[in-house]
Chains A and B, each alone.
Chain A
């Protein structure tokens, strides 16, 4: 890697604001405090989101969630529910939320440059009515997160457009990455055959629910 002479210098919030300028009134006005019909439609068509949480000390974590479009349920104009499907059982988000209930979500819809951002607070639940709405392939998740919405707004599509995320040609990038098995085998330093890891992953991916 290229070594820099010194750590990049740190700007103060005032410096940052001076560089960026003030946001336009229209941008501020677009922040809503509720899930209206447009946001509801957006969530009902979104199969993927990222979820940011932090612990009491502010150490942050961001994790993905994905399922069929509309897997996040809009319980009412101020409340969402996100299923907790089987994953790595690390439960970072749950541990963080127990200390600090703040949560930030970004919803994506394939093909659409604009994103939906929702910020608020969250807690885990096993409410039977909520889990019943998440039953897939005859299985219900064990838990769900209830999100009390504080603010919701569309995020403009420039990041998605610059990243060409929905351009099918962009998928050629994946060819440049070694298989998960190769990377994990190398990082672990253990004597594991990469293909064994890949096979185990393929087996695990068969059971998505």
Chain B
């Protein structure tokens, strides 16, 4: 955890505010574009937001929060009740969406998904690597950072207000893009689905800010063997691995508890996990809040 204070709350678009969080216990942890932090809100909810400020700024973080129509209490809290001067604890930055070297980049942002991509444009632009952004939103007024992007990156940025222009043709974008171009997409489900249809999987990197609607096999009981402590924990069909481990005396950090934030990552030594997260667990890792087991037992590095 890092201690911060809310320095400024700034309305940056319809339904969207930027929070400027100043570190109050020394310099804030460094981060790379694509990273997010957990915000521990005063109403006990933890929410994940992409860092969208300047990575070189070690004094403060910037995140942008859209007021969700069906807020469960996170974005509503930030918009209606959070006040300047309030102390907030934030996690260390985590990055499931790193910018990897490529001969060129195409960034696809949908709505508030721009926050994850905004800091990614700077490095390729500075290095002269081809990079362009297609930023899609309902209307110009509902799209944060549009001016900032236009001013900094000019022609590299295409802003599409769907209310006037409809949705962009991703298949056409795919046909135009140079081979080897990596596509980074962050936006709502419909946009991610369209990107998955238009671009080959090996060229597409996607980040969701909400769990995808998917169905899984029935939840079944399995065993978690904690290798370092030589103990076996039974995970009942109606229990999660995260909760069963906590109950057995292995409390893991947790944030969203729905397979999006990645704070409950575990190292798997043996057995076959049933990955149900939306992060895309790397080989040998799993997220204990939602993921279960295909094999009767999993061996964990605990």
| Complex Cα spacing A206 to B242, Å | 12
**One of B43, B211, B257 near A70 (C-beta < 8 A):** B43
Nearest B residue to A131 by beta-carbon distance? B70
CB contact list, B240-276 vs A, under 8 A: 243, 247, 257-258
Q: Which residues of B contact A207 (CB under 8 A)?
A: 238-239, 243
Q: How far is the CB of A126 from chain B (nearest CB, A)?
A: 15
Segment with Cβ contacts to A, from B71-79, B130-138, B197-205:
B71-79
Q: Is A62 in contact with chain B by the CB < 8 A criterion? A: no
Find out whether the CB atom of B258 lies under 8 angstroms from the CB atom of A133: no
**One of A41, A69, A134 near B72 (C-beta < 8 A):** A134
Question: Is chain A's binding surface mostly helix, strand, loop or mixed?
Answer: loop
Nearest B residue to A37 by beta-carbon distance? B80
Q: Is A68 in contact with chain B by the CB < 8 A criterion? A: yes
Q: Which residues of B contact A136 (CB under 8 A)?
A: 72
Q: How far is the CB of B301 from chain A (nearest CB, A)?
A: 24
Nearest B residue to A44 by beta-carbon distance? B81
| Complex Cα spacing A197 to B81, Å | 42
Find out whether the CB atom of B70 lies under 8 angstroms from the CB atom of A68: no
The number of inter-chain residue pairs (CB within 8 angstroms) is 49
Find out whether the CB atom of A70 lies under 8 angstroms from the CB atom of B70: no
**One of B72, B73, B243 near A206 (C-beta < 8 A):** B243
Q: Which residues of B contact A45 (CB under 8 A)?
A: 42-43, 81
Nearest A residue to B68 by beta-carbon distance? A133
The interface size of chain A toward B, counting residues with CB under 8 Å, comes to 20
Nearest A residue to B73 by beta-carbon distance? A70
Q: Is A129 in contact with chain B by the CB < 8 A criterion? A: yes
Find out whether the CB atom of B239 lies under 8 angstroms from the CB atom of A68: no
Find out whether the CB atom of B80 lies under 8 angstroms from the CB atom of A68: no
Q: Which residues of A contact B258 (CB under 8 A)?
A: 137-138
**One of B77, B211, B247 near A44 (C-beta < 8 A):** B77
Nearest B residue to A47 by beta-carbon distance? B44
Q: How far is the CB of B212 from chain A (nearest CB, A)?
A: 13
Q: Is B39 in contact with chain A by the CB < 8 A criterion? A: no
Q: Mark A184-208, 1 if CB is under 8 A from B, else 0.
A: 0000000000000000000000110
Contact status of A68 and B73, CB under 8 A, knowing A40-B80, A137-B257:
yes
Q: How far is the CB of B15 from chain A (nearest CB, A)?
A: 16
Q: Is A112 in contact with chain B by the CB < 8 A criterion? A: no
Q: Which residues of A contact B73 (CB under 8 A)?
A: 44, 68-71, 73, 133
Q: Mark A120-132, 1 if CB is under 8 A from B, else 0.
A: 0000000001001
CB contact list, B33-55 vs A, under 8 A: 42-45
CB contact list, A39-71 vs B, under 8 A: 40-41, 44-45, 47, 68-71
Chain A positions within 8 Å of B, measured between CB atoms, are 40-41, 44-45, 47, 68-71, 73, 129, 132-138, 206-207
16 more A-B contacts (CB under 8 A) besides A206-B239, A206-B243?
Answer: A41-B81, A44-B80, A47-B44, A68-B43, A68-B45, A68-B73, A69-B44, A70-B73, A132-B70, A133-B70, A133-B73, A135-B72, A137-B257, A138-B211, A138-B257, A207-B243
Q: Which 8 A-B residue pairs are closest in the complex by CB-CB distance? A: A69-B43, A70-B73, A138-B258, A132-B70, A68-B44, A137-B257, A70-B43, A133-B70
Could you list some 25 contacts between A and B, CB below 8 A? A40-B80, A44-B73, A44-B76, A44-B80, A44-B81, A45-B42, A47-B44, A68-B43, A68-B45, A69-B43, A69-B44, A70-B76, A70-B77, A129-B70, A132-B70, A134-B72, A135-B72, A137-B257, A138-B211, A138-B258, A206-B239, A206-B243, A206-B247, A207-B238, A207-B239
